[in-house]
Amino acid sequence: MRVAELWRYPVKSMAGERLEAAALTGDGLDGDRVAWVEDPRGGLVTARTRPRLLGHHATLGPDGGVLVDGRPWDDAAVARDVALAADDGAQLVTRGGERRFDVLPLLVATDGAIAAMGLDLRRFRPNVVVSGVEGLAEEGWPGKYLAVGDVVIGVARLRPRCVMTTYDPDTLAQDPRVLRRIVKERGGSFALDCAVLRGGTIRVGDEVVLRDAPFDSAPA
């Protein structure tokens, strides 16, 4: 098995960026979900209820700053776009090293399961896509571990999916049949919630080894 794709989403609920290499820490993929949208009361706003956020593209600039459609996150034009995509008074925020995840900080998907569903992988917003996986083998991975060089990833559970999967990543057109199909065929879950047990840098093309135990020997 190999690392086929790496994805980072600097702004929660916005489209992300594809990478050739990524640093993983206990907080997940470096630079992932470091900014998010809040309503005037400080509540989290996501694409579950404001899907137009998915139409904006978030990246990290050369200095590590968050960019939205190529503009600094605190640019006045970005603020206007966020208010239009979410609600009046909604704003994009980032607070130092704080991040916003639903449960665990890393989502892993496999090529076999994606092919079985026949859907654009971007609907599932994975951080790591693993190739060379037969069919739905990922469904037996919870409780196991993925080793990528010195990096060790713990597979916790299959990820319960939400309405965000129903939006086309390019047109934002909604197709409710997508989620109904995930519920019917996969019990409502797809891809893998994971934790990083030992960090490091991984790259597209790196070998991925499935293990029953996290370490071959005591970590350094």
**Chain segment 38-84, per-residue pLDDT in tens:** 999 989 999 999 999 999 999 999 999 999 999 999 999 999 999 99
Over residues 111-144, the pLDDT tens digits come to 999 999 999 999 999 999 999 999 999 999 999 9
Three-class DSSP category at 62? coil
Domain-wise residue ranges, the chain: 2-7+18-28+102-211, 31-93
Report CA dihedral (34, 59, 176, 45) to the nearest 10 degrees: 40
CATH architecture of 2-7+18-28+102-211: Beta Barrel (2.40)
Strand order through the sheet with 71-72 = 58-60, 66-68, 71-72
151: confidence class by pLDDT, cuts 50, 70, 90: very high
- Sorting pLDDT into bands at 50, 70 and 90, what band is 220? very low
Please give the share of the chain, as a percent, with pLDDT higher than 70.
Answer: 98
| Spatial CA neighbour of 122 closest among 31, 208, 15 | 15
**Residue 219: pLDDT over 50:** no
For the ranges 118-122, 132-136, 187-191, 216-220, the lowest mean pLDDT is seen at 216-220
Phi, psi of 188 (to 5 degrees): 90, 0
Q: What percent of the chain has pLDDT over 90?
A: 90
Give per-residue pLDDT as tens, 167-182: 999 999 999 999 999 9
pLDDT in tens, 23-35: 999 999 999 999 9
DSSP state of 163: G
Contact 53, 113 (CB under 8 A): no
Q: Coil, helix or strand for 220?
A: coil
d(CA 144, CA 109): 14
Q: Within 13 Å, how many C-alpha atoms sit on residue 132's CB side? A: 10
Beta bridge partners of 129: 5, 109
C-alpha 53/C-alpha 43 separation (Å) is 16
Give the residue with greater pLDDT, 88 vs 140. Answer: 140
Confidence of residue 88 (pLDDT cuts 50, 70, 90): confident
How long is the chain?
220
Position 217 scores a pLDDT of 60
Phi-psi region for residue 215, left (φ > 0), alpha (ψ -120 to 50) or beta? beta
If phi > 0 it is left, if psi is from -120 to 50 it is alpha, else beta; for residue 118 that is left
Tokens standing for residue 16: 């992300």
